[in-house]
Structure 1
Amino acid sequence: MSLPLRVRDTGLALLVLVVVAVWTLVSAHYAEEPASRTVLGWLLILVGCGALCFRRRQPVAVAVVTLLACAAYYPLSAQDGPLLITFALALYTAAAEGRFAAAVALAAVTLLAVGLGEIGHQPGRRQIDDTSLAMMAGWLISLVAVGRAQRNRVAYLYEVEQRALAAEREQEARARQSATEERLRIARELHDILGHSVSLINVQSGAALHRLGKKPAPELALATADEALRAVRDTSKEALRELRATLGVLRRADEAAPTAPASGLTLLPELVERAASTGLDVRLRVEGTPVPLPPPVDLAAYRIVQESLTNVTRHADARAALVALEWRPDELRLRIEDDGGGAPEDRPPGSGIHGMTERARAFGGGLTARNIPGGFLVEARLPLTDPTTRAPARAPEGDSA
């Protein structure tokens, strides 16, 4: 666990203070000076080292304070301790914290002040020769350059980290979206399967109870009960088959997938027959030449017809219904029409119609559901293309579209 910046800056300031203090104490054995200068020198050391505690919060101000402390310390003190370390650290910090212009200006001012000071000395009494001045210039430039490089490195690492976080958030969002879409797809499948089958069972059993409630002859009552139970058995059997096929997507990889075929238009006659078992007069009409459909499109067409018939038996109070399939060269048209009372004008479309619309739109098609004179009409359009490759379905050999 990394320490807070204030703790680290305070620790660095104490370390520099120890180094400067030890150097100064050692130098005091070889150079004597008045006590007043010694006290003032130690005050300047404390000021310069103490300022480093604030080097990240006020980098330019700390650089100016340490520069002024060094400018007063070296002409005054005879020990010549390494107080210049404080200015070096402050100058580097100013550049590393993004105060590049201020760091360059302070370095230039330092070189200019040292150069002018040396020019004012008499020949032979200069403390810094030309070589040392050039080395000092290179040293200051290096501090500013390294600080700027550190700034760029930190900015680059921050940008990389932000990009990684953004990519992670995007990946998580995509995963949540995929999971949501999969849950909605499974919920829609379960709604279509269970809603259709339960509705048929409800209508069949209700009709049988209604007839038995009239207390018919024993033979007629037995026949009515037998017919109703057989219809309930067949409907529940088909519901279980479709339910197993749908839940197969949730099985673990090491489990065997269901072997029963998925629902599709090949099972449409059975669907119509089950709907007719409720007493509804259902007719199936096919126009054009059927072609093999991609499994997702085939399932969507079957579910649209299934949900439409479910709505007819559950809500329409209809006596007859028509299921029409029109095979065109580039698309399949579905038409489900009944002679019921239609949908209330003031009621929004239910989840069943919404689910059918989503199925059609998922493959580039469309669906409309509306009241018509004397009933209700559902029309759907499904392109004859593979939803993944967008390749058109082909008619069997020998057939024409």
Structure 2
Amino acid sequence: MEEQRADVPWRWHGPPWWSNASRSSHLPWRSTLLFTVFVVFGTHVASVNQKSDRAHLDAFAYILLLVASGALLWRQRYPVPVAFVTAAAATVYLGAGYPYGPVFLTVAVGCFSALVAGRRKAAWAAVGMFWAGHVLVSHWLYRWLPPAGDSATSWGGELVIAAWVAAIVAVAELVRVRREQWARERAERAQAARRRADEERLRIARELHDVLAHSISVINVQAGVGLALLDSDPEQARTALTTIKAASKEALGEVRQVLDTLRTPGEAPRTPAPGLDRLPELVEQAASAGLTVTVEGGAPKLAPATDLAAFRIVQEALTNVVRHSRSRQARVHVDNAEGALRLRIDDDGPATGADAGGSGNGLAGMRERATALGGTIEAGPRADGGFSVLAVLPRKASSHELIERKEDV
């Protein structure tokens, strides 16, 4: 049924220009009822003091009062028609010579609602129509309209009415601008929350990828060794199984730590995040996978975020060597000079030519980590057939990162 409607070329899609679809479907019954009572009762009281000057209230007068005030029930849903209905009803009421009174407030409320809803042209047109009708009746048509013997309104009174209209328009414009500012602020806060949520998802995805890719690579290699030596060298197969157990235990611990941050938001992690001080553990794990790693340089004192990123970059680089290189040797060079941490991980290759189940997320994750800290990553094959990863990370947080942290707070 919906597809058939969509095929009709003349069908109007979206809300009409004279409506306000962003408003709630709830109708303001109470406020409209109270306002209607006020208008009718106030006009009746005002007529007592104007018996000799204006026409007496009759059924048509009360109908105009009810139409003008009752139309305000739809002022939030259809602000444009309401503005014109109130202006037209008040103009006819004025032309019929009925007593002056609160009926003119219906025009103010109707045009105010249209201005606040952003229908400025329609609101100005309704105000202009009422103003022109008032001038026409008060200074020209009064000769032929009731009550008999009526005189022209002074121009001083016109100035009072003009000031009254200008005040209503100014207040309505102020409310409209303020509401637009609130809407923009809410949208900006929602966008910032979505951005933080996206960044957190990316961070968790990188952590899980780095932990699982490294550990599962070690488990995969050791499982192959264990299967190959199970009959010929049971002791070596036992060693491989022991390595699998240790790697899986460590992976489970780190995955549990990442998941704990999701279960307990706002709390500090129960165990410290890994850093370059755990390089010896990486070397041992790589050795259990048949990769000899040489480390040059010591682990400097770094900020937690930089320390974690440096550890994960080295971990992912060594994992890639195990999975994608025929080389059984790798070198990790740590250089802490000129306010920046330089990490270089090299292997002599050649590449295996198989992705070993890799999806390319490892290099992307390393680049994301470095970029988030204001650093850089360069990775690619060397001329001699090996592969090199060079990471440059600032030891201190960049000004951009500090600004983001202040905004988050």
Q: What TM-score do the two structures reach when normalised by structure 1?
A: 0.68
Q: Give, in whole Å, the separation in 1 of the partners of 2:246 and 2:345.
A: 23
Does structure 2 conserve the Cα–Cα contact (< 8 Å) formed by 1:208 and 1:225? yes
Q: What is residue 329 of structure 1 aligned with on the other side?
A: 338
Query: What is the total number of aligned residue pairs between the two structures?
Result: 345
Residue identity matched to 1:361: T
Using the TM superposition, name which of 327-336 and 294-303 deviates more. 327-336
Larger radius of gyration: 1
Change (3 A) 1:44 1:333: closer
- Structure 1's unaligned 5+ residue stretches are 28-37, 71-81, 118-124, 392-401
Does structure 2 conserve the Cα–Cα contact (< 8 Å) formed by 1:343 and 1:371? no
Q: What is residue 309 of structure 1 aligned with on the other side?
A: 318
Q: Give, in whole Å, the separation in 2 of the partners of 1:91 and 1:299.
A: 66
Q: What is residue 387 of structure 2 aligned with on the other side?
A: 376
Change (3 A) 1:385 1:172: same
Using the TM superposition, name which of 202-211 and 147-156 deviates more. 147-156
Residue identity matched to 1:359: R
Does structure 2 conserve the Cα–Cα contact (< 8 Å) formed by 1:66 and 1:86? no
- Structure 2's unaligned 5+ residue stretches are 1-25, 72-80, 113-122, 403-409
SS of the residue 1:364 aligns to:
coil
Confirm whether residue 271 of structure 1 aligns to residue 271 of structure 2: no
**Deviation by residue 1:281-327 (Cα, 9 ceiling, x = unmatched):** 322222xx753111110111110000011111122233222222222
Q: What RMSD over aligned residues (CA atoms) do the two structures have, in Å?
A: 4.6
Q: What is residue 112 of structure 1 aligned with on the other side?
A: 139
Q: What is residue 349 of structure 2 aligned with on the other side?
A: 340
Q: Give, in whole Å, the separation in 1 of the partners of 2:60 and 2:260.
A: 80
Q: CA deviation at 1:222?
A: 2.5
Q: CA deviation at 1:143?
A: 4.3
SS of the residue 1:57 aligns to:
helix
Q: CA deviation at 1:235?
A: 2.0
Q: 2:396 aligns with which of 375, 378, 385?
A: 385
Q: What is residue 356 of structure 1 aligned with on the other side?
A: 366
Does structure 2 conserve the Cα–Cα contact (< 8 Å) formed by 1:284 and 1:322? yes
Q: What is residue 258 of structure 1 aligned with on the other side?
A: 270
**Deviation by residue 1:19-66 (Cα, 9 ceiling, x = unmatched):** 78xx89xx9xxxxxxxxxx9xx98986996698577733566556544
Q: What is residue 223 of structure 2 aligned with on the other side?
A: 205
Q: Give, in whole Å, the separation in 2 of the partners of 1:242 and 1:197.
A: 10
Does structure 2 conserve the Cα–Cα contact (< 8 Å) formed by 1:95 and 1:147? no
Residue identity matched to 1:209: L
Q: Give, in whole Å, the separation in 2 of the partners of 1:149 and 1:183.
A: 51
SS of the residue 1:56 aligns to:
helix
Change (3 A) 1:88 1:254: closer
Q: Give, in whole Å, the separation in 1 of the partners of 2:373 and 2:171.
A: 49
Change (3 A) 1:382 1:298: same
Q: CA deviation at 1:331?
A: 1.3
Q: What is residue 11 of structure 2 aligned with on the other side?
A: none
Confirm whether residue 170 of structure 1 aligns to residue 188 of structure 2: yes
SS of the residue 1:341 aligns to:
coil
Confirm whether residue 154 of structure 1 aligns to residue 154 of structure 2: no
Q: What is residue 243 of structure 1 aligned with on the other side?
A: 255
SS of the residue 2:270 aligns to:
coil
Matches within 5 A, 1:206-221: 206-212=224-230, 215-216=231-232, 221=233
Q: CA deviation at 1:188?
A: 0.8
SS of the residue 1:370 aligns to:
strand
Residue identity matched to 1:375: G
Q: Give, in whole Å, the separation in 1 of the partners of 2:170 and 2:253.
A: 64
Q: What TM-score do the two structures reach when normalised by structure 2?
A: 0.67
Q: Give, in whole Å, the separation in 2 of the partners of 1:225 and 1:162.
A: 70
Q: What is residue 119 of structure 2 aligned with on the other side?
A: none
Q: 1:294 aligns with which of 278, 297, 303?
A: 303
Does structure 2 conserve the Cα–Cα contact (< 8 Å) formed by 1:333 and 1:381? yes
Q: CA deviation at 1:390?
A: 8.3
Q: What is residue 232 of structure 1 aligned with on the other side?
A: 244
